[in-house]
Homo-oligomer: A and B are copies of this chain.
Amino acid sequence: MKPESATPPFAPVLDRLRAAGLRPTRQRLALARLLFDAGDRHVTAEQLLGEASRAGVRVSMATIYNTLHQFTHAGLLREVVVDPGRSYFDTNVSDHHHFFVEGSAELHDFDARGIEVKHLPVPPSGTHIARVDVIVRVKKN
């Protein structure tokens, strides 16, 4: 509808937010760019706050959490639970799984198409499968 080219880096992110039904506010735009303009990554709330403040973006912790959860709901992010007491948010929302390096808080993706998970048992009655997560826990040699 509008082929304007005022702010090249903003446009794509703006459309993603609009498509998700999220009002494109200053903070959401800035966080979206930090998250999505750097390829696949795994971020904690704490880290994102740090990056934002380093980038000169003023955001509160509450907004970081709100935004992370809203993006997750919208399918723009995926929450990864591997470490007790700390949530990671993954900008890669394609079908994949994770390597988790114990101790070092490092996460690495691997494509789900490479592996096969076969013969999954039937889920408990009254439930249906929402997602299958494979976490390969590795240790440093």
Interfacial residues, chain A to chain B (CB-CB below 8 A): 79, 81-87, 99, 101-102, 106, 108, 110-111, 114-121, 123-124, 126-141
Please give the distance in Å from A134's CB to the nearest CB on chain B: 5
**12 sampled A-B residue pairs with Cβ under 8 A:** A81-B81, A81-B84, A115-B117, A115-B118, A115-B121, A116-B117, A116-B119, A118-B118, A127-B141, A128-B141, A131-B136, A132-B134
**Oligomer copy total:** 2
Interface of A is mostly: strand
Question: Given the complex, which residues of B lie within 8 Å of A134, measured CB to CB?
Answer: 117, 132-135
A135 to B132, CA, bound (A): 6
- Expressed in whole angstroms, the minimum distance between the Cβ of A103 and any Cβ of chain B is 11
